[in-house]
Amino acid sequence: MTIKEFINKVYLIGSLLEDISYDKAANIVCLEIDFCYWQQSSFEDGEKETGIVLIEFSNCSNCTYDNYKINSDEIVKVELLDNSINICVESDVTGSYHNIQICANNVNFIEK
């Protein structure tokens, strides 16, 4: 799906960023997230409330983010900027805010 479709379908705020990897040679960015299923519009009682998912951005033309130690950082803002997604997280360790900006053609939501 496109970044715009992803943002319209998946609610990330409140979920926790656990890891980020950027394979520049393959043009792939992968975010490991402790995902809040319970915050999704399709959630129904009795379903699992949280779980680890991978969000894979492929055909990336750009990815920028601060190089810092990620430690269950809460996603506090998600926005579409042209053909990019900007994800703002709050560091669990320092309380500082960090931005991840990814420009990609495709996004895959992968349940683990």
DSSP 81-107: ETTEEEEEEE-TTT--EEEEEEEEEEE
Compute CA 96 distance to the chain's CA centroid, rounded to the nearest angstrom: 18
d(CA 58, CA 66): 20
Quick check: helix, strand or coil at residue 67? Answer: coil
Q: What is the CA radius of gyration of the chain?
A: 13
Local confidence pLDDT in tens for the 112 residues of the chain: 999 999 999 999 999 999 999 999 999 999 999 999 999 999 999 999 999 999 999 999 999 998 888 999 999 999 999 889 999 999 988 999 999 999 999 999 999 8
pTM of the model: 0.94
pLDDT at 69: 87
Residue 62 and residue 83 in contact, taking contact as beta carbons nearer than 8 Å: no
pLDDT at 26: 96
pLDDT at 78: 98
